[in-house]
Amino acid sequence: MKKIIPAFIVFMVSFTLLYAGNTASGKLQKDSVNKTSASQLHKMMEKKDFILVNVHVPYAGEIPKTDILIPFDEIIEHLEKLPAKEGKIVLYCRSDRMSAIAAEKLANAGYSNVYNLKGGMKAWKAAGYELIDNQPSKTTRSGRE
């Protein structure tokens, strides 16, 4: 029993230090990204108090009222196109893989009001909502397609 207690204390101290280090480095920032469902986003569209960003590469359609297209892996290079760090931003892509990456990058950069559409355009379409398929001029793409 006497050997178990010191081992437990060492484990707990190590775990605490590891957790604190990851939080300080931003590795656990994912929790600061809000997730929204297609139906929740559809409801949010009534008020539209956010910037809606399609981050899917290559272009595969978009949700109506999308404000801007920024490739998920270039999101940090285009912060000037986004609202202030407290501004509400909703990101989406085709499935939510790319938008999850972009949302995490924004959270790590200090953005505090970031939303990611769960299931992306696939979930939006499955919920019966419209997708449009025309490449608009609001893109910030760097020639990749």
Give pLDDT, residue 32. Answer: 75
Give pLDDT, residue 121. Answer: 98
Is CATH 3.90.79.10 correct for 33-145?
A: no
Give pLDDT, residue 141. Answer: 46
This prediction has a pTM of 0.74
Give pLDDT, residue 137. Answer: 55
Spell out a b/e string for 27-60, using b for 16 or more CB atoms within 10 Å of the CB, else e. Answer: eebeebbbebebeebeebeeeeebbbbbbbbebe
What Cα–Cα distance (Å) separates residue 128 from each residue in 62, 63, 109, 132? 14, 12, 34, 13
Which residue ranges of the chain lie beneath pLDDT 70? 1-31, 135-145
Task: Name the residue among 82, 90, 102 with its Cα closest to residue 30.
Answer: 102
Identify the DSSP state of 108. H
Q: 112: burial class by Cβ within 10 Å (0-12, 13-18, 19+)? A: middle
Task: Name the residue among 108, 41, 118, 106 with its Cα closest to residue 72.
Answer: 106
Q: Where are the domains of the chain?
A: 1-29, 33-145
